Structure 1
Amino acid sequence: QFMASFDSKYGGFGNKPKFPSPHNFSLLLRSYQRDKKDATLKMVEKSLKEMRKGGIYDQVGFGFHRYSTDEHWLLPHFEKMLYDQAMLIIAYTEAYQVTEDPFYKEVVEEIIEYIKRDMTSPEGGFYSAEDADSDGVEGKFYVWTREEIIEILGKEDGEFYAKVYNIEAKGNFTDEATGHKTKDNIPHLKAQFFELASAYKMKRPDFKDKVYTLRKKLFLVRERRIHPLKDDKILTDWNGLMITALAKAGAALQNEDYIEMAEKAADFVLKTLRNKKGRLLKRYRKGKAGLTAHLEDYAFVTWGLIELYQASFKSKYLKDAVSLTDIMIKHFYDNKKGGFFMTADDSEKLFIRSKEIYDGAIPSGNSVACLTLQQLSQLTGNPVYLKFSEGILKAFSKEVERYPRGFSQLMIGLDYATGPSYEIVISGDPEKDDTKAMIKAIQKKFIPGKVIILRPAEDNKEIIALAPYLKDQKMKDKKATAYVCQNFACKQPVTSVKELLKNLGRE
């Protein structure tokens, strides 16, 4: 289904309008990991590169707009959504892990720069969206005339920037309503930086430095314009996705700042968007939290906490993931037919409690829960969680068989269930280099079916209480020791990174 609808010229799937749909790429990367079909990886790489070059990407201030109105990613609907940034951070991070191409790492860093600068509240939570229009005109904040570019950057630099970013005197896109060009331009690239650098006979770092110096000048001028309205609600579910993304990026890119951003957001959600009974609330704005949480709030925050535990190894996050999952099972699970309802059993009584499974612009709560329940079972050693994950897969199997492409995130859960999946226990002193080297070696790799648990040599009571099987997985010869297990049957413990990767088939 993906191959049939893939746009080999511009990347992405289907015709206009084109949505990024990042979970499609995450699924395809897992498929590539299994069968190593170059065509599968090519679909992901082509799409992610074309999107970054296009007008759907804010070339001046970073971050992705919501969707493209055309097939070549030029003219976007200019709204920016938090959930898109989160899911795209995950897709580009995973592409970096698979290919080790620094291009993907740079995109992750740019999106997070945008999130940190424009979408993070003083308390550490993340705002929901930025509108498409400012001063009553869609895209006005983001477009430029050629004259403006020359005036701001000077003739020589202005013409250089205009050539690189395809800025034209008559404008580079047609107005959707009139079909005419309006002198306005959306900065976009027709080639990657390394190709452009070669065309300009410059070294790539020099070319990039020059372009980014000019970009910064335009950005500072743009900051003085009337900004699009910011939707400053802090939504629990979307924050869960961003915590997930930052934790994954922080671990894969070895960036402590990203992990700290995720921690601050998680601490805010757990403190402010949870009531005295430990139940989540749905939204927060200007000091007030409220509304009953739905399934996706629990599933997405749990996902974030599980990834954050595996990035920070602070057992409190795993503990909170367990307590939120237990609440989710108690109040949302359908014990008769399997799967989770959208609403809790004690929320406002509706005629029908519906279940959502379709993975649209954001994944469904059931799809994410299918994954987190498996991860939690591995992390804690509690097989009960697997029963509920299997219940989701059974409950929705017929829909998925009919149209798998509509359930990309659920298919990621199915891929996880298919295996191989690994429990990787690192037993050692978290401050010592040998422990850090083992953790880093695993975090940098794309190993979709793994969980990683740290058993500190000391101060380990809390993590052993959460995962009792860790009790006997101790250090050998006072060295950091790795236990690679499948379904809790462990290979011989090893004390070198090389042996660890060999045990994972990732030499």
Structure 2
Amino acid sequence: MNIDSKKANRLINEKSPYLLQHAYNPVDWYPWGEEAFERARAEDKLIFLSIGYSTCHWCHVMERESFEDKEIGDLLNRYYISVKVDREEHPDVDNFYMEVCQAFTSSGGWPLTIIMTPSKYPIFAATYLPKEDSFGRPGLKTVLLKINELWQKEKERLIVIGKELVSSINDFAQEKYVELNTKVIEKAYEILLASYDRKYGGFFGAPKFPMASTLLFLLGYYEYKKDPMALEMVKKTLINMYKGGIYDHIGFGLCRYSTDKIWLVPHFEKMLYDNALIAYVCAETFKITKDEFFKTFCVEIIDYVLRNLKNPEGGFYTAEDADSEGEEGKFYIWTLQEIKDILGEKANEFIANYNITEKGNFEGKNIPNLIGKDLSCKMDENIRRKLFEYREKRTKPFRDEKILVSNNSLMICALFKAFGITKNDVYRKEAETTLKFILENTFDTDGRLHVGFKDSPMRGKATFDDYIYLIWSLIEAYDYTLDRTYILKAKSLLDETIELFYHNEEGGFFLTGKDVEHLPIRTKEVYDGAVPSGNSVAAYSLIRLSRLFFDHKIEEIAQKQFKVFGSKINKNPVSYTFFLYAFLYNLKGTEVVISGNNPKIFTEYLMSNFLPYTVWAYADDLKKIVPAYENYQTISGNTAAYVYKNGSCKSPVTTLEDFKKALEID
């Protein structure tokens, strides 16, 4: 689109890359805010709400077909007040209206299309809509005309429909206390085992997502039961994910998901959160298996993030687009002749190993992959470098340069895990630099955390997920550095989190803070999708903090998590796998307290081995803050480790060999 001939709308003044992509649409867009709703009330017009994100392929398609179209622009401007939302800037808005869409249609996705009353009660929901009717499905033009007609003729009925839908969502969200027990763990495992693809890994067929929460649960189950099949499912899934086209063999990094069951054809956008979580899982898998492949997978992912998503001042960008030059995947795909021209006499081996053909496997071109091949067929670094340097001359996909608290917190956790298995201090330094950037740049002048940074703190106030992910990263920072400032910051942030988000009467945490009043109701999210839910991470992190601080209040809140969401989780446990990972932590907890001037003799072992239910503290540095640590002393002047496992106290030890034995004894 030639923007020189277009008039900018209000979005031109926004920071969000997604909103700026729509700043020259003929639609009179508003950003999310009271100005739009005041005008809707004054003019008695419906709100047309469109939610997406900058690297979403189908968001681009809907923009090209409809939002750049003058006819659609005229309809929207005449009959509606149009609001455009970046789901990553207002995740609470996205979460609420996604629930609405799922209630209306039993499905969801982006772009998310909502029509609602001036009071924000929804009366229509859909995802992508073509401009015109297609295959019996109404297009956007038909929807806009029909719903406006209904608004003029049956306004009161539409208002009632919207209020009843919100009321039903609220009723469904009401929690019933049900105690979780170990049966739910077994039920989740049995469902996963039954849905597991024994040839290609992954679960539930196409499309296939990385499902990091599920993989972590299976690693936790392996530790819990020593069932080799649990570990095998994780290993095979990661290996096949790596072999597939979902993984970028030339530049590294994972794409969002695979459209097929063999991990071949992805949607090509690369998200920071997917890469952080799978790097985390790979590091944990390496700790169990000591198989260098999983370390390599972890390190390659992190190297991609450091190269492509790193902000020079600190922090990591959100994502890279699927499209370049208006075509999905164009940056990543190859013709047979290109490979021959670049690699010369070495081309044939690469062509055979990476399944390159004249016909291609994606729209006449090739996504390099190792499907059906052994990992020993992996190209050497010289070949990869040649292909990488050639590809770098292409037009690169758009990069969303928002620095989000939630995604960066996940990346901090992954970097510390990578440091634990490699001892490469670069990863620790990057983690600490990122954490420092987030803590210094995403709080407003009143001390309130915002969702992220783009030149300054972003518009949206942080959700519960942002707070609890940041707390998780601070706990990991303490584990891997023993710097008490991290754990003290985690505790102070938790106090603020409880004040803003905790439901004192019933338990659980609302997604929106009590200082945010821009949605019809406050909801609690516990579903573990592409990322773990905030309430799941809360269950996990609160247990760890309660044990580090000997804090019974925090422990009570953590224990209540397992009751308040018990009913939902018992019904469909595979939708809550990170929550179940936290529940296993609660069942199998191990605490280590170290005293003496050489804690590294024990912490290096703790950092590099799979001990998912273990929390450790350095007594010498915490005793002035937590008096209970005064009880832990050296033994005959030697650094000592005190191990508490499953409610049982072990004798303090001073050697690494005795420490290993203490950790192993049940």
User: Is the TM-score greater than 0.5?
Assistant: yes
Number of the residue aligned with 1:89:
279
Question: How far does residue 506 in structure 1 lie from its aligned partner after superposition?
Answer: 6.9
Q: Which shows bigger deviation, 124-133 or 210-219?
A: 210-219
Matches within 5 A, 1:260-275: 260-275=429-444
Contact 2:491 2:545 in 1 (8 A): yes
Number of the residue aligned with 2:614:
450
Distance in 2 between the 1:445 and 1:147 partners? Answer: 46
Matches within 5 A, 1:200-219: 211-219=380-388
Distance in 1 between the 2:387 and 2:316 partners? Answer: 25
Number of the residue aligned with 2:537:
368
The alpha-carbon distance between structure 1 residues 60 and 195, as it changes in their structure 2 partners (threshold 3 A), is closer
Number of the residue aligned with 2:577:
408
Contact 1:254 1:440 in 2 (8 A): no
Contact 1:306 1:317 in 2 (8 A): yes
Matches within 5 A, 1:141-156: 141-154=331-344, 156=345
Question: How far does residue 277 in structure 1 lie from its aligned partner after superposition?
Answer: 4.5
Contact 1:125 1:234 in 2 (8 A): yes
Whose radius of gyration is greater, 1 or 2?
A: 2
Number of the residue aligned with 1:25:
215
Matches within 5 A, 1:460-499: 460=621, 463-486=622-645, 490-499=649-658
- 1:391 is paired with a residue whose SS is helix
Contact 1:359 1:406 in 2 (8 A): yes
Which of 292, 295, 303 is 1:105 aligned to?
295
Contact 1:423 1:488 in 2 (8 A): no
Question: How far does residue 193 in structure 1 lie from its aligned partner after superposition?
Answer: 5.4
The alpha-carbon distance between structure 1 residues 451 and 278, as it changes in their structure 2 partners (threshold 3 A), is farther
1:438 aligns with 2:606: no
1:383 aligns with 2:383: no
The alpha-carbon distance between structure 1 residues 349 and 56, as it changes in their structure 2 partners (threshold 3 A), is closer
Number of the residue aligned with 1:202:
none
1:163 aligns with 2:352: yes
Distance in 2 between the 1:391 and 1:224 partners? Answer: 55
Which of 245, 259, 274 is 1:55 aligned to?
245
The alpha-carbon distance between structure 1 residues 44 and 488, as it changes in their structure 2 partners (threshold 3 A), is closer
The alpha-carbon distance between structure 1 residues 73 and 79, as it changes in their structure 2 partners (threshold 3 A), is same
Contact 1:161 1:211 in 2 (8 A): no
Question: How far does residue 393 in structure 1 lie from its aligned partner after superposition?
Answer: 1.4
CA displacement 1:449-497 (0-9 Å, x = unmatched): 11122234xxx3xx32443322231222332211112488642211100
Contact 1:16 1:70 in 2 (8 A): yes
Question: Percentage identity across aligned positions?
Answer: 40
Contact 2:443 2:457 in 1 (8 A): no
Distance in 2 between the 1:8 and 1:281 partners? Answer: 43
Number of the residue aligned with 1:393:
562
The alpha-carbon distance between structure 1 residues 134 and 65, as it changes in their structure 2 partners (threshold 3 A), is same
Number of the residue aligned with 1:426:
594
Which of 299, 305, 312 is 1:122 aligned to?
312
1:69 aligns with 2:259: yes
The alpha-carbon distance between structure 1 residues 467 and 150, as it changes in their structure 2 partners (threshold 3 A), is farther
AA in 1 matched with 2:370: L
AA in 1 matched with 2:592: I
Contact 1:393 1:414 in 2 (8 A): yes
1:505 aligns with 2:664: yes
Question: How far does residue 71 in structure 1 lie from its aligned partner after superposition?
Answer: 0.5
AA in 2 matched with 1:165: Y
Contact 1:319 1:466 in 2 (8 A): no
Which of 450, 457, 460 is 1:291 aligned to?
460
Give the RMSD, CA atoms, in angstroms.
Answer: 1.7
Which of 232, 247, 264 is 1:42 aligned to?
232
The alpha-carbon distance between structure 1 residues 473 and 390, as it changes in their structure 2 partners (threshold 3 A), is same
- 1:338 is paired with a residue whose SS is coil
Contact 1:381 1:468 in 2 (8 A): no
Which of 328, 331, 352 is 2:500 aligned to?
331
CA displacement 1:123-178 (0-9 Å, x = unmatched): 21111110001011110100111111111111x2111211121111221x143xxx
CA displacement 1:401-437 (0-9 Å, x = unmatched): 0000000111111111112x1121222325xxxx323
Contact 1:134 1:141 in 2 (8 A): yes
Structure 1 residue ranges without an equivalent (≥5): 176-181, 197-207
Distance in 1 between the 2:645 and 2:233 partners? Answer: 31
Distance in 2 between the 1:192 and 1:287 partners? Answer: 48
- 1:291 is paired with a residue whose SS is coil
Matches within 5 A, 1:124-273: 124-154=314-344, 156-171=345-360, 173-175=361-363, 182=364, 184-190=365-371, 195-196=376-377, 211-273=380-442
Distance in 2 between the 1:282 and 1:465 partners? Answer: 34
- 2:619 is paired with a residue whose SS is strand
